[in-house]
Structure 1
Amino acid sequence: MSQAQITATESPPWTRTLFAVAIAFSLFQIVTAAFHPLSSQVLRAVHVGFLLLMVYLALPAPGQRPLARVASWMLAAAALVTAGYQWVYEGELIQRSGDLTEADMAVGLVLCVLVFEAARRLMGLALPSICALFLAYALLGQHLPGDLAHRGYDLDQLVNQLAFGTEGFYGTPTYVSATYIFLFILFGAFLEQAGMIKLFTDFAMGLFGHKVGGPAKVSVVSSALMGTITGSGVANVVTTGQFTIPLMKRFGYGAGFAGGVEATASMGSQLMPPVMGAVAFIMAETLNVPFVEVAKAALLPALLYFASVFWMVHLEARRAGLSGLPKAQCPDPWAAVRQRWYLLIPLGILVYLLFSGHTPLFAGTVGLALTAIVVLGSAVALRVSAFKLRCAFWVALGLLCTAFFQLGIAVVFAVIAGLIGLCAWHKGSHATLRLCLQALVEGARHVVPVGVACALVGVIIGVVSLTGVASSFAGFILAIGEQSLFLSLLLTMLTCLVLGMGIPTIPNYIITSSIAAPALLELGVPMLVSHMFVFYFGILADLTPPVALACFAAAPIAKERGLKISLWAVRIALAGFVVPFMAVYEPALMLQGGGVLAVLYVLLKAALAIGLWGAVFTGYLLQPLRRWERLLGLLVGVSLVVALPWSDALGFVLAALLIAQHFWRARGQARVPA
């Protein structure tokens, strides 16, 4: 599976058209987020219309170029018609809900074809094929034997469910894409254009570049930091990877290992609060819980994941004898912060708002507005030599941040408009204006594959809601769970990994959470933990062969086969695979129940188990491990995970003995003269 990059690189009119559509898309989303002029249903319909419009303009069908362009323009026009139909006839559609006219049927069928074809052009056949199977099940499932059979549904019932309700193409995932996801992606696009990537990489390089295995550690830390603003693993690979992968290769790391480190660290970015990628917002909306609860539940597992990757990188560097860069070649991390500290203002306010109880929509709007103000205002201030004017800008920014909570979003956007006008008037400011326009375009471009996936998986949500098929699969898992919860978890994990071979993280989560998560809840797993379990392995699916999207994204940068990078990525992330299982047996790891002492205890267990398994799978601690040490370390890690009354005590005792004897042996060998 490949994720198409929507770029307009053909003739200039084609480029200008896409550029204009992308800017219009972003401005539409900003206005609707700030002022809410449209109903939720119309917002979703227009959002999907813009997504389809960009896909068909950017990715024409194969064939003769003029005919392909004409066909794509016709499909793009049809996409606008479906959105306009929902807008113009909104009241009538509500009044006759369930009783479709011929025009309704035609629009619904056209929308179905457009969404499937757009997903095929973007992602290949895997996800559309799975969704087509669900469609076939809804239409023909009454002929199946046993518990899988349903009462049967006509075509008009299915079209009404998918195209004119809130459980199909315009379901919860599309609503989240049209609100939270777009704002946060646009927020990240503005920060990236303003130089946040350089800030993160310089900071990570300054702190860890000169350490043992420094280039690989820079990759881990910079990817973790980038995850706080992007939440897209593949995007993280192709941004930070352009710098870190060649750097790792230059200092002795193999191409496969370098690509594997970057892919593993980048996919973990979707676990890192506050943004956490699109899935976290969908999870919060699905579970009807505040987003901050999802972010808090993900915090410790995310830290453990990156700690395990960092530990594996350190041990591999020690084993291979790889040193870091000369300290003189590493930038000063605090100088990088002093140079671009203002970029941290919107991120800090965003985190504050999210964790102080505000909605993600409000927090994202404020963060986006402040980002635009900071970027534009600082650009203006830096071009003016007068010290007083620079100081006045920062004072005005502080007053604006204070006034925002009293005067509302309209004030912010009025100030943004003024700053844009000032930038356009000021001599030499065209580059800044282009930066802002490019950020609007990049935000729209990056949301397209996410949004189309959200729309298409509405087929699965709609069919599951219509037929109740989830109960059959849940019953199967429950039957296994009566014998062993571990087997149920293993089956769920395998389902996530197998689905991840062909579909992105968002539909993977939606499918498995709709089918498997309710079964885990029946087995006593807390609701949020069960959803985080499938979310976690949906992310790791992008590292597992044979598809491994993140690894294949790193392949051209590393100049290595994607499969080899994937094998390295699984090995590097292997210790992290245990975290979701530990969270199921010890929900305190996700801050679900238990006090501070319970959280600290399970965190200690998880860190010890991950640390030992990292040494086991690299075969090195202070020196190469013997076979019996590796076997014992593996058993100790297992005993710390299973959470039986006697297993923790046994695990701690054996871990202490193993580590003590290894240190003693390493110390003894160090005394032996060479």
Structure 2
Amino acid sequence: MTLNQENTIQKLPRAIFFVAVMFSVFQIYTAAFSPMSSQVIRALHVGFVLLMVFTLYPRFFGFKLSWLGWLLGLTGFVFSFYHWVYESDLTARAGEMTQTDMVVGIVLIALVFEATRRMMGIALPIICSLFLLYGLFGEYLPGPLMHRGYGFDQIISTLGFGTEGIYGTPTYVSSTYIFLFILFGSFLERAGMITLFSDFAMGTVGHSRGGPAKVSVVSSGLMGTINGSGVANVVTTGQFTIPLMKRFGYSASFAGGVEATSSMGGQIMPPVMGAVAFIMAETINVPYVEIVKAAIIPAVLYFFTVFWTVHLEAGRKGLDGLPKSECPNPWAAVRERWYLLIPLVGLVALLFSGYTPLFSGTVGLGLTVILIFGAATISGATNNTMRYLFWVLLGIACTGFLQFGVISFFVIIAVLIALLLMRKRPEPVLKEALTSLADGARHALPVAVACALVGVIIGIINLTGVAAEFGGQVIAIGQDNLLFALFLTMVTCLVLGMGIPTIPNYIITSSLAAPILLKLGVPLIVSHMFVFYFGIMADLTPPVALAAFAAAPIAKTSGLKISFQAIRVAIAGFIVPYMAVYSPALMMQNYSHFGEVAFVVVKAIVAIVLWGAGATGFLLSRLNWIERVYVIIAAAMLVWANPLSDQIGALLTVLFLVWHGIRTKQARRER
């Protein structure tokens, strides 16, 4: 997605803007009140997505044909109501397709394929088409891949109806948790959260060694808490950080690589985690908070890896930070926009208190509407009575929510908004609210359309059982060599991730590869986090590297060069998933006491420090190639989960640090 596409929200034609707002209102209403069955909500969710995609991208054979885009979009939207109008009939005759069912199913599946191609390119539709062809003609294949054969009506029934196919678990998660959290992030961004994060990052690390690059790491990490889209982070924070890094001496490719790597890390940063956390929780049937607990340490280690590599690169090139006078006061930024943090803190508190993501997201969104738009307007009023009334109503809203639930909470929100609109200047508040709703719907499209299409893969896998055959082959290898099985799984994730966003990549690989690791003795959450982690790395890995190519126009250099730099920056990050497999305590799994977790984390930090030094060729001073090989070997010993290797790695590390410190001190004296 290009930056121009991202910035078209406010310039949408009125009709499309209205559709986007209605889409968001529909999602908020169904999240708060659950007035329909899950199947109907999924179908209407896909219908809204088809309507928006075809009206936003109405080019056909090189010509812009808006009328045809509206025709196809409205066709998909109207056909989605088929699942609502004939819900009881479809349930009663499940598996028995009528002619009308066939027409509706075929048209909707075809429209989902085409909408995904328009929104995300050709890579994902091609992969899904291969699975569809396998379901239709796999009975003619030789060898173990042959299946027993399925009728065309059975394929359409599986993919176009029921809770598999395009209305499967990914679409369920997209139509509930994901949309709500994207909308939550949209409201926060609209209210100035990006400015808060940028000012805070600039003020805390901008003046240190390599400060401009560290600003990119910190701001992208903070952005990841509310926006799990790596590519979107690149084109937002990258507009500021990449030119800043170039101005202070970093090469264009390195600046782009740092931003791409930092932005992709937002997808493993709780609480949003690029929305994959919600899909993972539904897929493996564990509480969402358990996913977050498993992700916290690897996320911190990932950003520490990037931060450390940037620090070493700055030392190697002798790059200082910004003058302190040019850096904003971080605490002044917090004092000015402190209220923006309340919805985020409330969201995290509710999640860790055991409430569902849907409940927590609804509350977070409600708090955002009240605190951001209410406080921003009323705090500027000269009428103290209005100010006091706002805070009283806020207290009533919170109390009413705790005692009477979501309905009373939204009634209070409606009262607050009505009071705001009664003021002399209601237009800014209403305009900001509507634009945030439209922004949220627009930002949700890539995720939603990908979730719908990858349902084709899941449906075919479940129907044919091909995953069991694939898994058997890898398990046969892994019984003798787990490391090689992990390597094959990593390669599978990286290859499938070429040109495919993280969410569909995770859905595909979790269906194929994660069950294999589970059978090889890898804990359930760790096996899914392993494939998720390398799904993220696929967006940094040549030759496709979506995040790197998103940074290329901003950095004004080749996306391939940025990709290679991103790999160098994140090199230690490739090791963390392997460490988690051999030491599950790194993801807070299978440990008896917290000391185990602390020990593994310390080992990981030391290994990252050594690996970063080996990758950049600098620690306290420059390293020659022998020293670089030495520290990489020492890091590898620490990664290998074995008491003897830990002792060897610790000894090698101590000897190197002592020797390197003495050599650096002597070199400085000679100067």
TM-score bracket, shorter-length normalisation: over 0.9
Specify the alignment match of 1:305 in structure 2.
302
Is 1:495 equivalent to 2:492 in the alignment?
yes
| Partner-residue secondary structure (3-state), 2:522 | coil
Residue type of the partner of 1:616? G
Corresponding residue to 1:376 among 373, 380, 400: 373
Residue type of the partner of 1:5? Q
- Alpha-carbon distance between aligned partners in 1 of 2:285 and 2:576, rounded to the nearest angstrom: 25
Are the aligned partners of 1:212 and 1:314 in contact in 2 as well (CA < 8 Å)?
yes
Is 1:585 equivalent to 2:582 in the alignment?
yes
Is 1:272 equivalent to 2:232 in the alignment?
no
Q: 1:238: how far off?
A: 1.1
Are the aligned partners of 2:9 and 2:438 in contact in 1 as well (CA < 8 Å)?
no
Specify the alignment match of 1:354 in structure 2.
351
% identical equivalent positions:
62
Alignment of 1:222-371 (within 5 A): 222-371=219-368
Corresponding residue to 2:566 among 562, 565, 569: 569
Q: 1:376 to 1:16 in 2, by over 3 A?
A: same
Alignment of 1:464-613 (within 5 A): 464-594=461-591, 595-613=593-611
Specify the alignment match of 1:661 in structure 2.
659
Specify the alignment match of 2:158 in structure 1.
161
Is 1:174 equivalent to 2:201 in the alignment?
no
- Alpha-carbon distance between aligned partners in 2 of 1:73 and 1:336, rounded to the nearest angstrom: 45
- Alpha-carbon distance between aligned partners in 1 of 2:3 and 2:199, rounded to the nearest angstrom: 29
Q: 1:64 to 1:522 in 2, by over 3 A?
A: closer
Mind listing any 5+ residue stretches in structure 2 that lack a counterpart? none
Is 1:43 equivalent to 2:44 in the alignment?
no
Specify the alignment match of 1:5 in structure 2.
5
Are the aligned partners of 2:173 and 2:279 in contact in 1 as well (CA < 8 Å)?
yes
Are the aligned partners of 2:390 and 2:416 in contact in 1 as well (CA < 8 Å)?
no
- Alpha-carbon distance between aligned partners in 2 of 1:187 and 1:266, rounded to the nearest angstrom: 19
Are the aligned partners of 1:220 and 1:262 in contact in 2 as well (CA < 8 Å)?
yes
Alpha-carbon RMSD across the aligned residues, in angstroms, is: 1.6
- Alpha-carbon distance between aligned partners in 2 of 1:262 and 1:64, rounded to the nearest angstrom: 33
Q: 1:239: how far off?
A: 1.2
Specify the alignment match of 2:23 in structure 1.
25
| Partner-residue secondary structure (3-state), 2:337 | helix
Which digits, 9 at most, give the CA deviation of each residue in 1:321-351, with x for residues without a partner? 1111111111111111111101111100100
Residue type of the partner of 1:52? L
Corresponding residue to 2:194 among 169, 192, 197: 197
| Partner-residue secondary structure (3-state), 2:623 | coil
Corresponding residue to 1:113 among 92, 103, 110: 110
Specify the alignment match of 1:405 in structure 2.
402
Are the aligned partners of 1:216 and 1:258 in contact in 2 as well (CA < 8 Å)?
yes
Is 1:648 equivalent to 2:646 in the alignment?
yes
Judge which range, 460-469 or 547-556, deviates more.
547-556
Is 1:88 equivalent to 2:65 in the alignment?
no
| Partner-residue secondary structure (3-state), 1:289 | coil
Q: 1:399: how far off?
A: 4.2
Judge which range, 406-415 or 472-481, deviates more.
406-415
Q: 1:109 to 1:4 in 2, by over 3 A?
A: farther
Residue type of the partner of 2:668? A
| Partner-residue secondary structure (3-state), 1:273 | coil
Which digits, 9 at most, give the CA deviation of each residue in 1:257-284, with x for residues without a partner? 1111111000000000111112111000
- Alpha-carbon distance between aligned partners in 2 of 1:15 and 1:589, rounded to the nearest angstrom: 49
- Alpha-carbon distance between aligned partners in 2 of 1:392 and 1:528, rounded to the nearest angstrom: 47
Are the aligned partners of 1:457 and 1:510 in contact in 2 as well (CA < 8 Å)?
yes
- Alpha-carbon distance between aligned partners in 2 of 1:502 and 1:380, rounded to the nearest angstrom: 43
Are the aligned partners of 1:453 and 1:507 in contact in 2 as well (CA < 8 Å)?
yes
Q: 1:3: how far off?
A: 9.7
Are the aligned partners of 2:210 and 2:320 in contact in 1 as well (CA < 8 Å)?
yes
Q: 1:168: how far off?
A: 0.6
Specify the alignment match of 2:13 in structure 1.
15
Residue type of the partner of 1:278? A
Judge which range, 490-499 or 420-429, deviates more.
420-429
Judge which range, 377-386 or 499-508, deviates more.
377-386
Q: 1:64 to 1:485 in 2, by over 3 A?
A: closer
How many residue pairs get aligned? The number is 670
Residue type of the partner of 1:619? G
Specify the alignment match of 1:148 in structure 2.
145
- Alpha-carbon distance between aligned partners in 2 of 1:550 and 1:15, rounded to the nearest angstrom: 29
- Alpha-carbon distance between aligned partners in 2 of 1:2 and 1:206, rounded to the nearest angstrom: 30
Residue type of the partner of 2:15? T
| Partner-residue secondary structure (3-state), 1:325 | coil
**Could you tell me the TM-score, scaled by structure 1's length?**
0.97
Corresponding residue to 1:440 among 434, 437, 444: 437
| Partner-residue secondary structure (3-state), 2:59 | coil
Are the aligned partners of 2:216 and 2:237 in contact in 1 as well (CA < 8 Å)?
yes
Specify the alignment match of 2:622 in structure 1.
624
Q: 1:344 to 1:9 in 2, by over 3 A?
A: closer
Are the aligned partners of 1:4 and 1:122 in contact in 2 as well (CA < 8 Å)?
no
Q: 1:7 to 1:105 in 2, by over 3 A?
A: farther
Judge which range, 149-158 or 138-147, deviates more.
138-147
Is 1:57 equivalent to 2:55 in the alignment?
yes
Which digits, 9 at most, give the CA deviation of each residue in 1:303-330, with x for residues without a partner? 0000010000000011111111111111
- Alpha-carbon distance between aligned partners in 1 of 2:425 and 2:246, rounded to the nearest angstrom: 39
Residue type of the partner of 2:625? R
Which digits, 9 at most, give the CA deviation of each residue in 1:183-209, with x for residues without a partner? 000000000000000011111111011
Are the aligned partners of 2:262 and 2:306 in contact in 1 as well (CA < 8 Å)?
yes
- Alpha-carbon distance between aligned partners in 1 of 2:267 and 2:135, rounded to the nearest angstrom: 33
Q: 1:6: how far off?
A: 6.6
Mind listing any 5+ residue stretches in structure 1 that lack a counterpart? none
Are the aligned partners of 1:497 and 1:540 in contact in 2 as well (CA < 8 Å)?
yes
Residue type of the partner of 1:255? A
Are the aligned partners of 1:542 and 1:548 in contact in 2 as well (CA < 8 Å)?
yes
- Alpha-carbon distance between aligned partners in 2 of 1:395 and 1:563, rounded to the nearest angstrom: 56
Q: 1:8: how far off?
A: 5.6
Q: 1:4: how far off?
A: 9.1
Q: 1:5: how far off?
A: 3.2
Are the aligned partners of 1:206 and 1:331 in contact in 2 as well (CA < 8 Å)?
yes
Q: 1:235: how far off?
A: 1.1
**Could you tell me the TM-score, scaled by structure 2's length?**
0.98
Q: 1:227 to 1:293 in 2, by over 3 A?
A: same
Q: 1:391: how far off?
A: 4.7
